[in-house]
């Protein structure tokens, strides 16, 4: 399958570049900007995109790509920092602009009379077709590359976000587009299939952005669309079958979207007899969760469903712990310890494989699968635990969704015939209420939070808001505050409500509730859950906050 490699220099919109390309039906993989580009990385790669960055190319923190990319003969597209980087790496200069270019800005571009002589052949004309308002996207995606007319001029409304500009072009580059302020905006190399744009075609506000990316992906790189969920299923079938043979596969399943889809995928691509689903009731689950999950999992058609009750073990492991990372680690390790114990009890042979519903974003956030600059934000229980890492190194872990984003997992779930109710469920983290009860976790606090959270979620459903929100939940704060109820002094817990919108959980905005909904939900909670005396609404986006509080 043809692939586009994206070097991530830390831009907020790198994820979007990948998403646009996948939406076009081509597989895109993101690696750190400074990662070594090995032969293994390059398998099936038809072109490389260099992303934007919050850093400047002249700053010591500005990452430098593996210089090998310039001698591979592969097409390159630099976006913002990416083209600034390609400029500096090839002898040009970048300097700070006196006035930054932010937001919408017109870019004017003239196709040369001899595009065929540029960038080593037809590539340049194909690239320019992305800017040509008369060329439809389908033509750009078509089997013969769409080409722009020599000498044609275009003007597009671009979306800019930079404070630096190219002041001397890199060796071999020519400038074809200019921003309204006169800054270089579109560059093409004279001999090599190298391109650069100073704006961000990946954002939806950029006019013809998708077409410009498509011009590169199809016209320049010659990619064939090969990325679809149906094909993904076939690929998993082939690779999984080969890897696991007839050995048993044990999937840790939470009833959440990811692991349920992973379960359905395993049941569909392997022999259902070899697939074991194991759900743990950690005591950190939501109200009535175990029952709901049991019903949903039985519907999947699993032959071996193991429901493990281990509430007390999790609560004891968490006793006295208040530090978020210590809590996460304790929970992550216990998942594996219990799983190993249960495997012995069930009598599975040593040759079994452990499967998880890990997503691409889980790996990124836990600082895995990406390079040395990646920061650990929080250890997702299924990734950060040393026990899981050891198993992963030993090649005993199967994560059939680890290249997918949440919304892709949802469409895969629909293809696999999973109920819409399950597919649309808000994500629920493995450590569950353990990271939503700030500070020490106790059974009593779990019960209070369970009640409050259930009211909140039920209200969102009743009010038709659940599907508008990407994730909503309640958090129990480690503070009590004074109140008055029935003329009596109350000293009770403070609850925070969280509701966010997002595409993939990597960034999030606060859901703008109507004040009426918030007030009514708050009253309902304090009137019903007597241990809660005060309700607040979390109005922080991600970044700078994260979605969960711990």
Ligand X SMILES: Nc1ncnc2c1ncn2[C@@H]1O[C@H](COP(=O)(O)OP(=O)(O)OP(=O)(O)O)[C@@H](O)[C@H]1O
Ligand Y SMILES: O=c1[nH]c(=O)c2[nH+]cn([C@@H]3O[C@H](COP(=O)(O)O)[C@@H](O)[C@H]3O)c2[nH]1
Ligand Z SMILES: NC(=O)CC[C@H](N)C(=O)O
Catalytic residues: 80, 200, 202
Residue number of the CB atom closest to ligand Z: 52
| Annotated binding residue 165 | no
Half-sphere exposure of 144 (CA within 13 A, CB side): 2
Angle at 484 between CA 483 and CA 485, to 5 degrees: 125
**x/- site string to ligand Z, residues 161 to 190, per CB under 6 A?**
xxxx--------------------------
What's 364-394 look like in SS3? Answer: HHCCCCCCCCCCCCCCCHHHHCHHHHHHHHC
Confirm or reject binding of residue 11 to ligand X (CB under 6 A): no
| Bond into 543 cis (ω within 30) | yes
Confirm or reject binding of residue 428 to Mg ion (CB under 5 A): yes
Half-sphere exposure of 307 (CA within 13 A, CB side): 14
Confirm or reject binding of residue 85 to ligand Z (CB under 6 A): no
282 contact choice in ligand X, ligand Y, Mg ion, none (CB below 5 to 8 Å, kind-dependent): ligand X
Identify the sign of the CA torsion 158, 162, 168, 170.
negative
Confirm or reject binding of residue 256 to ligand Z (CB under 6 A): no
Nearer to ligand Z, 79 or 476 (CB): 79
Nearer to ligand X, 214 or 449 (CB): 449
DSSP label at 542?
A: B
| Annotated binding residue 257 | yes
**x/- site string to ligand Y, residues 442 to 481, per CB under 6 A?**
-----------------------------x----------
Confirm or reject binding of residue 14 to ligand Z (CB under 6 A): no
β-strand pairing of 3-8 with 45-50 = parallel
Report the b/e string of 163-194 with b at 16+ CB within 10 A: ebbbeebbeebeebbbbbeebbbbbbbeebbb
Question: Contact with ligand Z (CB under 6 A): which of 8, 11, 69, 382?
Answer: 11
Containing 114, the helix (H) or strand (E) segment is none
Q: Tell me if 339 sits within 8 A of 345, measured CB to CB.
A: no
356 contact choice in ligand X, ligand Z, ligand Y, none (CB below 5 to 8 Å, kind-dependent): ligand X
User: What's the rounded Cα separation, in Å, for the pair 132 and 178?
Assistant: 16
User: What's the rounded Cα separation, in Å, for the pair 515 and 417?
Assistant: 38
Other beta carbons within 10 angstroms of residue 27's beta carbon come to: 22
Confirm or reject binding of residue 378 to ligand Y (CB under 6 A): yes
Question: Contact with ligand Y (CB under 6 A): which of 365, 399, 451, 453?
Answer: 365
β-strand pairing of 509-510 with 488-501 = antiparallel
Q: Name the segment binding ligand Z (CB under 6 A); options: 30-38, 53-61, 289-297, 357-365.
A: 53-61
Q: Name the segment binding ligand Z (CB under 6 A); options: 41-49, 54-62, 265-273, 512-520.
A: 54-62
| Annotated binding residue 256 | yes
Confirm or reject binding of residue 101 to ligand Z (CB under 6 A): no
Annotated binding-site positions: 254-260
Residues that bind ligand Y (CB under 6 A): 365, 377-378, 380-382, 427, 429-431, 471, 505, 542, 546-548
Residues that bind Mg ion (CB under 5 A): 254, 256, 428
Residues that bind ligand X (CB under 6 A): 252-254, 256-259, 279-280, 282, 356-357, 362, 382, 425, 427-430
Annotated binding-site positions for ATP: 254-260
Residues that bind ligand Z (CB under 6 A): 11, 52-56, 80-81, 161-164
């Amino acid at each position: 399958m043809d692939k586009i490699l994206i070097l991530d220099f830390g831009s907020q919109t790198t994820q979007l570049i990948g998403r646009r390309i996948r939406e076009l039906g081509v597989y895109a993989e993101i690696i750190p900007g400074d990662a070594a580009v090995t032969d293994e990385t390059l398998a099936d790669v038809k072109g490389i995109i260099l992303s934007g960055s919050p850093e400047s190319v002249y700053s010591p923190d500005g990452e430098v790509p593996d210089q090998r990319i310039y001698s591979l003969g592969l097409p390159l597209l630099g976006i913002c920092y990416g083209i600034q980087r390609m400029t500096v790496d090839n002898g040009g200069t970048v300097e700070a602009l006196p006035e930054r270019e932010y937001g919408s800005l017109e870019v004017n571009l003239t196709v040369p009379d001899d595009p065929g002589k540029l960038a080593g052949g037809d590539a340049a004309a194909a690239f320019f077709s992305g800017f040509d308002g008369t060329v439809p996207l389908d033509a750009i995606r078509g089997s013969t590359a769409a080409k722009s007319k020599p000498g044609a001029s275009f003007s597009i409304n671009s979306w800019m976000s930079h404070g630096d500009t190219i002041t001397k072009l890199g060796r071999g580059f020519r400038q074809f587009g200019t921003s309204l302020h006169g800054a270089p905006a579109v560059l093409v190399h004279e001999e090599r299939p190298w391109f650069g744009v100073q704006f961000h075609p990946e954002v939806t506000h950029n006019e013809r952005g998708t077409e410009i990316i498509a011009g590169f992906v199809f016209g320049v790189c010659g990619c064939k669309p090969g990325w679809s969920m149906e094909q993904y299923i076939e690929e998993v079938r082939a690779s999984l079958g080969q890897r696991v043979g007839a050995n048993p596969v044990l999937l840790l399943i939470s009833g959440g979207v990811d692991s349920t889809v992973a379960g359905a995928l395993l049941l569909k691509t392997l022999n259902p007899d070899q697939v074991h689903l194991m759900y743990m009731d950690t005591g950190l689950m939501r109200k009535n969760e175990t029952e709901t999950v049991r019903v949903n999992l039985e519907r999947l058609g699993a032959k071996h469903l193991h429901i493990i009750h281990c509430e007390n073990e999790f609560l004891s492991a968490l006793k006295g712990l208040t530090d978020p990372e210590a809590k996460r680690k304790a929970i992550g390790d216990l998942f594996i310890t219990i799983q190993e114990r249960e495997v012995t009890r069930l009598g599975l042979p040593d040759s079994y494989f452990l499967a998880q519903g890990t997503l691409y974003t889980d790996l990124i956030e836990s600082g895995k699968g990406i390079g040395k600059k990646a920061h650990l934000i929080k250890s997702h229980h299924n990734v950060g635990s040393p026990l899981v890492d050891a198993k992963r190194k030993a090649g005993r872990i199967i994560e059939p969704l680890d290249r997918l984003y949440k919304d892709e997992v949802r469409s895969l779930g629909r293809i696999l015939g999973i109920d819409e109710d399950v597919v649309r469920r808000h994500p629920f983290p493995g450590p569950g209420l353990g990271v939503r009860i700030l500070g020490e976790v106790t059974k009593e606090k779990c019960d209070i939070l369970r009640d409050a959270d259930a009211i909140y979620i039920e209200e969102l459903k009743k009010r038709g808001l659940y599907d508008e929100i990407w994730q909503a939940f309640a958090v129990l704060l480690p503070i009590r505050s004074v109140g008055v109820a029935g003329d009596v002094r109350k000293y009770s817990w403070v609850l925070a409500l969280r509701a966010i919108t997002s595409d993939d959980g990597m960034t999030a905005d606060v859901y703008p509730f109507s004040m009426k909904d918030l007030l009514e939900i708050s009253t309902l909670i304090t009137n019903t859950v007597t241990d809660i005396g005060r309700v607040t609404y979390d109005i922080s986006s991600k970044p700078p906050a994260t979605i969960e509080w711990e």
